[in-house]
Amino acid sequence: MEYTIFTILPIFLLPFLAFVLGSFIVKRSEKLAMAISTVSIFVSFLFSAKIFSDFIFSQFSKDYYIHKYFNWFDLSSQGLEFSVDLGIYIDNMAAVMLLMVTGVATLIHVFSIWYMADDKKYGKFFVYLSLFTSAMIGLVLSDNLLSLFIFWEIMGFCSYSLIGFYHEKEKAGEASLKAFMTTRVGDVIFLLGIVAIWGVIGTVNYVDIYSAIANGVFEGKMVLGISLATFAGFCIFAGTVGKSAQFPLQVWLPDAMMGPTPCSALIHAATMVAAGVYLSLRMYPLMELGGITPFIACVGGLTAFGAATIALVQTDLKAVLAYSTISQLGYMVLGVGVGAYNAAFMHLITHAIFKACLFLSAGSVIHSLHDHQTHDHVQEMPRMGGLKTKLPLTFLAMMACTLAISGVPLFSGFVSKDRILGDALYMAMTNKVYWVAYLLGALGAGLTAFYMFRMMFLTFFGAPRDEDVYKHCHKESLKWNRNVPLLLLSIFTLGIFFSGSPSGQGIVKFGGEKYEWFKVLMVKPIPKNFTTYSKEKLSTQDNRDKILWPKSSYESHDYGLNEEDEHRLHTAHIISAIASVVIASIGILIAFLMYIRQSFSSERIISRAAKFYKILVNKYYMDHFYIKIVIRRGLLKFNRLLANFDLGIYDRYAIDGWEHISRYCYRIADFFDRYAVDKIGVDGFGFVIKDVLNKGLRFLLAGKVQFYFIVLFLVLAFYMFRISTA
């Protein structure tokens, strides 16, 4: 495939055009809008699959990239240059992201056909899905932070619209506003980072930033007393904190479940939350240069552990998955912080697959359960139970994903998450700062196994706890738009698709190093490799001679360490793998004893730890802190102070004072106009013309001969007088 405008842009343009076309036809034909949306994203998936195969299956080198651009606008004049280029940048990471986003989004679209079939706003939902998906694709294809930020904000609007899709419900409206405003905090700081970089190097293109790092452009540059790299890296990471729901801006994500469940799958898996981690991975060299990676690791570890503890006490099925999303995102950020670039990106992909499947499975469960008194769907797990026989296919898919997220060997979650923990342990062994991050991550892994199996046991096992709900739940059958998407996603929860080592740590291998394609080909950007690079116009073909590029080499991963450190790293991974298996097993065992064997009662534990339980139920009082203290006692008081300044000083003296000055000036001008202009200038001149000149001329030109003789006599007399005196 020669990469031109016709082979790359359709990936983005097809779902975007589906949004535009669907916006016009949705009121006339909702089914047509749905069909256009679903077909467009599927075709985008086919284009993405071709790019994925070219990049991953030895077509190109692991260092190969496609970089095409076009000039957006050029305001350069008189020696001053101000030109902005936008473009497309595709490397191995972008190729995998494109496949994941379009593939998962396609299955979510298919599932939505069944889930939203009876909804009054059926077509409108698919219109929003198209815009949401196209924005994420545009973000992945972007070659610079500016266009990334544009698509970043479009996704913010889409999340606001989809979370508040049922805006007639007060809670949905509040949740959408909460998500929009919370993420804006991170976005504003992110924008400051973009401006800071642009102000120094004159561009925000990825490869230009890498090149500037390699050439030492950031050295010695200061912003507000700190280095530019630290300032810009922190600002960009703040964007990740907002978008990927990291502490302390994680409060919006649990409320995002107020939207339709397929939208929750899209937000929590393939698009919005993944965008924040993707940004940190792209800007990893800058964050590493700024020395903020220990801070990032601690934020990730704290988020992973804190969200996992809150998930322990949730009774709403989607709420458990929402907090598990925050926790798993914490592991990705932890991976970025400890330098586990490859493992962090792998966990982004594996999590997108099993979390999308988990949310769609939850949607299948919720859509099947009805409360015939309130006519609402049932989401509370204490009212479920015994659904394994009613929903066997949903149970099978959900169990596979639960095994994956819990870190059970042979599944993808174990391969990715526990590689992160292995690198975290290695960093802790070399730098004590990382011990906190590792321990929080390890404890969170055990809690994850417990609360996920608690969810499975309460939902699918045991006797039905609400006979009426259970009785009216129909047994599911195989449907192409209900459980087939779940089963397809569940297949890719197996670790074999991402690693040739069933353990994930290289202890047991088969098939050779070729099956370690993810570990070998997904490498962090090395700035010195970008000191010289080439890019082409978007309309041209990629004519670089690919023979000159070495093919992808599936050799063992080289960490660039000496023999002693390499041995220490290998030891850390083995210890971490064993510890993870033990921790996950303990978590699963406790959940089994508590909810299946009922060896001990959860109520007894709650009564003994009532205070801590209350703290978890209230989510560590983070919402209380933001609403009661930050907003009401802080921002509202500050708002009142600004209002008093605005009304009492600015309005009174600047606005109203200027009004008084204007009034006095008006009176002076009016007086001058009335008397100087009108009375003297206009009326006075009129009086002279009318009463003086007019009457004088009338007297002189009256037509009387006697008067003329008198005038003639006087003239002659005056003339003779002048002669006599001469």
Domain assignment of residue 699, yes or no? yes
Q: How confident is the model at residue 555 (pLDDT cuts 50, 70, 90)?
A: very low
Cβ proximity of 327 and 415 under 8 Å: no
Cβ proximity of 337 and 294 under 8 Å: yes
Question: What DSSP character marks residue 546?
Answer: G
Closest CA to 589 of 577, 599, 601: 599
Domain assignment of residue 676, yes or no? yes
Q: Are strands 226-227 and 222-223 parallel, antiparallel or unpaired?
A: antiparallel
Q: Which domain holds residue 674?
A: 624-725
Distance CA 310, CA 308 (A): 5
Distance CA 302, CA 319 (A): 19
Percent of residues, the chain, with pLDDT higher than 70: 91
Q: How confident is the model at residue 583 (pLDDT cuts 50, 70, 90)?
A: very high
Cβ proximity of 337 and 300 under 8 Å: yes
Average pLDDT over residues 348-355: 95
Average pLDDT over residues 699-717: 76
Q: Identify the three-state secondary structure at position 227.
A: strand
Q: Identify the three-state secondary structure at position 213.
A: helix
Closest CA to 369 of 383, 388, 358: 383
Q: How confident is the model at residue 615 (pLDDT cuts 50, 70, 90)?
A: very high
Quick one: CA dihedral 622, 624, 627, 631, positive or negative?
negative
Instruction: Reply yes or no on whether the pLDDT at 118 is more than 80.
Output: yes
Cβ proximity of 153 and 34 under 8 Å: no
Instruction: Reply yes or no on whether the pLDDT at 550 is more than 70.
Output: no
pLDDT for residue 398: 96
Average pLDDT over residues 424-440: 93
Q: How confident is the model at residue 222 (pLDDT cuts 50, 70, 90)?
A: confident
Distance CA 269, CA 485 (A): 15
Q: Write down the mean pLDDT value for the chain.
A: 87
Q: Identify the three-state secondary structure at position 377.
A: strand
Domain count along the chain? 1
Distance CA 547, CA 550 (A): 7
Cβ proximity of 454 and 313 under 8 Å: no
- DSSP E strands, 504-560: 536-537
Q: Identify the three-state secondary structure at position 502.
A: coil
Instruction: Reply yes or no on whether the pLDDT at 557 is more than 50.
Output: no
More confident call, 482 vs 56: 482
Other Cβ atoms closer than 10 A to 312: 15
Instruction: Reply yes or no on whether the pLDDT at 264 is more than 90.
Output: no
Angle made by CA atoms 65, 71, 72, in degrees to the nearest 5: 115
Instruction: Reply yes or no on whether the pLDDT at 39 is more than 50.
Output: yes
Domain assignment of residue 678, yes or no? yes
Q: How confident is the model at residue 723 (pLDDT cuts 50, 70, 90)?
A: confident
Average pLDDT over residues 530-548: 63
Domain assignment of residue 687, yes or no? yes
- C-alpha distances (whole Å) from 214 to each of 117, 222, 258, 398, 638 are 54, 18, 46, 46, 44
The CA dihedral of 455, 457, 461, 467, to the nearest 10 degrees, is -50
Distance CA 534, CA 545 (A): 13
Quick one: CA dihedral 69, 70, 74, 76, positive or negative?
positive
pLDDT for residue 61: 61
More confident call, 545 vs 387: 387
Cβ proximity of 360 and 434 under 8 Å: no
Instruction: Reply yes or no on whether the pLDDT at 553 is more than 60.
Output: no
Other Cβ atoms closer than 10 A to 443: 16
Distance CA 448, CA 451 (A): 5
pLDDT for residue 540: 59
Distance CA 378, CA 390 (A): 15
pLDDT tens-digit profile of 674-695?
877 777 777 777 767 767 777 7
pLDDT for residue 59: 59
pLDDT tens-digit profile of 267-296?
877 678 889 999 999 999 999 999 999 999
- What ranges in 461-600 are assigned the alpha helix state H? 467-471, 484-491, 517-521, 563-595
Q: How confident is the model at residue 43 (pLDDT cuts 50, 70, 90)?
A: very high
Distance CA 241, CA 224 (A): 22
pLDDT for residue 506: 54
Domain assignment of residue 667, yes or no? yes
Average pLDDT over residues 66-85: 77
pLDDT for residue 121: 87
Other Cβ atoms closer than 10 A to 488: 16
Instruction: Reply yes or no on whether the pLDDT at 556 is more than 50.
Output: no
Q: What is the pTM of this model?
A: 0.88
pLDDT tens-digit profile of 479-510?
999 999 999 999 999 988 888 765 555 555 55
For tokens 């792209």, name the residue: 282
Instruction: Reply yes or no on whether the pLDDT at 50 is more than 60.
Output: yes
Least confident of 58-72, 388-402, 598-612: 58-72
Distance CA 153, CA 147 (A): 10
Cβ proximity of 261 and 318 under 8 Å: yes
Instruction: Reply yes or no on whether the pLDDT at 645 is more than 60.
Output: yes
Cβ proximity of 185 and 249 under 8 Å: yes
pLDDT for residue 722: 81
pLDDT for residue 120: 85
pLDDT for residue 547: 44
